[in-house]
């Protein structure tokens, strides 16, 4: 059988199973089991499949995932980050659309101490969206700004970056750090869009009189409620950049610091601990269940010659490198509207990474572009996971179509960011190149 027949059969079968409503994990499992049984000789192949499942998740490099998720969950369920948002509000004065800008700033800070985009989106939507709507903010800008939680996927620590680094054989430490400056650039693009639109259309964000607080009181509140989070951020990222700790050790330090901070604020109750454990288990198990099929799926594509055949086919056209990159980004963006992010990785990584290395691209740079596309997918209609989170939070007056319209400008800004990083790769690579190991 030709390589393209195998490619169509394997990928097509998976997409058909998804289309009829089978969960991602079961769709991959069904394709893997059938193909392995047929190709690898029945029982012997199934024994190898079981080994692949075990080896795909029993690896040290995946350990930061649950730790990064716990960091975010404990801060969400304890509510200690709420005070930090209130303090940021005091500093914004009369800036147009300040609550939306605060949502972007809060997402940026929270992303530096969390590994879950869904947790960040849930927090922003629950805390800020009701207040925005109450003050007269238009839903077309209020909902979208609360979707900035998808920055969590780019700004370290990012659980999905750990998954990507593991699947694509990219240095996890360098991939994590590479998202820091680009994440800030993207937050700046979001904030600029809000300020410009609110300046052009004042009705988007009606002005209101902020609470009057003296400079000395602002500084005291900032030291009390904001600086501790900045300390955790510096610790978590600093030890990675300086080569003092691995991403796993950094995640452990950050998780411990988060628990200590919550305890110091006297919010560490048994209820908070139980909710944190439950939320973290749900997210981690969901990711790991999908990951179990990753290695076997890649092996099937490689064994049948599908991935190598596609690589040879694409290279045979002698496309300019930027055109090849544009096609890859389009494929990722399209898949992001239909599928879950880890599932997209499982399909595309075995095909894309050999092409990336054959073209001589920096894997860390490509990995960051990949993550930005995944971030856009998290909030892209109709199946973005952050969209589902937001749909469960918004009041009855806001429809699903309202959410789609509100988030569209931010998806376009993600595409602008990708373009910037393509032409100015130094923004992505400068920090990874400074790492000592």
The domain limits of the chain are 3-434
DSSP summary character for residue 210:
P
Check whether 33 has a pLDDT greater than 80: yes
pLDDT averaged over every residue in the chain: 81
Q: End-to-end CA distance of the chain, in Å?
A: 45
Span 123-138, pLDDT tens digits: 677 777 877 887 788 8
Name the packing angle between helices 270-291 and 24-39 (round to 10°): 30
Give dist(CA 434, CA 396) in Å, integer: 49
pLDDT band for position 383 (cuts 50, 70, 90): low
Q: 280-309, pLDDT tens digit by residue?
A: 887 677 667 666 665 666 667 767 777 667
Asked whether residue 409 carries a pLDDT value surpassing 90, the answer given is yes
Name the band, by pLDDT with cuts 50, 70 and 90, for residue 437. low
pLDDT at 311 over 70: no
pLDDT tens by residue, 247-285: 778 778 888 988 998 999 888 899 999 988 887 887 677
Residue 210: its pLDDT value, please? 62
Which of 228-247 are b and which e, b meaning 16 or more Cβ less than 10 Å from the residue's Cβ? bbeebbebbbebbbeeebbb
Peptide bond connecting 239 to the previous residue in cis, omega within 30 degrees of 0: no
Predicted confidence at residue 187, as pLDDT, reads 92
Q: Alpha-carbon distance 11 to 237, whole Å?
A: 38
Query: For 277-288, how does the pLDDT look when each residue is reduced to its tens digit (9 = 90+)?
Result: 887 887 677 667
**Average pLDDT rounded to a whole number, residues 389-415:** 84
> For 342-360, what is the mean pLDDT?
82
pLDDT at position 158, please? 80
Convert the pLDDT of each residue in 42-81 to its tens digit.
777 777 777 767 766 666 656 776 877 787 778 778 878 7
If pLDDT is split at 50, 70 and 90, which confidence band does 163 have?
confident
């Amino acid at each position: 059988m030709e390589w393209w027949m195998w490619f169509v059969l394997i990928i097509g079968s998976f997409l058909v199973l998804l289309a009829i409503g089978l969960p991602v994990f079961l769709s991959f499992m069904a394709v893997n089991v059938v193909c392995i049984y047929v190709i690898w000789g029945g029982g012997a192949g199934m024994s190898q499949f079981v080994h692949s499942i075990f080896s795909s998740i029993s690896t040290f490099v995946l350990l930061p995932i649950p730790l990064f998720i716990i960091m975010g969950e404990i801060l969400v369920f304890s509510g200690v980050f709420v005070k930090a948002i209130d303090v940021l509000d005091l500093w914004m004065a009369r800036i147009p659309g300040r609550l939306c800008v605060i949502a972007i700033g809060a997402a940026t800070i929270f992303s530096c101490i969390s590994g879950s985009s869904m947790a960040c989106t849930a927090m922003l939507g629950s805390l800020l969206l009701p207040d925005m709507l109450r003050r007269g903010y238009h839903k077309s800008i209020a909902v979208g700004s609360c979707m900035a939680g998808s920055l969590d996927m780019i700004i370290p620590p990012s659980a999905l970056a750990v998954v990507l680094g593991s699947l694509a054989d990219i240095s996890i430490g360098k991939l994590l750090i590479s998202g820091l400056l680009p994440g800030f650039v993207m937050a700046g693009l979001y904030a600029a869009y809000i300020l410009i639109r609110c300046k052009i259309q004042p009705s988007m964000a009606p002005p209101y009189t902020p609470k009057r607080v003296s400079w000395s009181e602002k500084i005291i509140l900032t030291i009390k409620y904001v600086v501790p989070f900045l300390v955790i951020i510096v610790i978590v990222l600093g030890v990675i950049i300086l080569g003092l700790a691995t991403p796993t050790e950094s995640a452990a330090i950050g998780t411990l610091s988060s628990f200590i901070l919550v305890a110091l604020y006297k919010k560490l109750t048994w209820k908070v601990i139980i909710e944190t454990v439950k939320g973290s288990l749900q997210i981690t198990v969901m990711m790991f269940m999908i990951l179990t099929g990753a290695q076997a799926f890649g092996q099937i594509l490689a064994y049948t010659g599908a991935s190598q055949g596609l690589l040879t086919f694409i290279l045979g056209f002698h496309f300019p490198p930027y055109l090849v990159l544009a096609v890859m980004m389009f494929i990722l963006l399209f898949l992001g509207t239909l599928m879950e992010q880890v599932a997209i990785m499982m399909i595309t990584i075995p095909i894309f990474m050999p092409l990336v290395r054959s073209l001589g691209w920096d894997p860390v740079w490509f990995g960051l572009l990949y993550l930005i596309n995944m971030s856009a997918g998290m909030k892209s209609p109709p199946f973005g996971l952050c969209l589902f989170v937001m749909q469960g939070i918004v009041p009855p007056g806001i429809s699903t179509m309202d959410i789609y319209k509100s988030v569209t400008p931010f998806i376009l800004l993600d595409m602008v960011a990708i373009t910037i990083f393509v032409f100015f790769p130094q923004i992505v690579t400068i920090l990874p190149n400074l790492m000592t190991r």
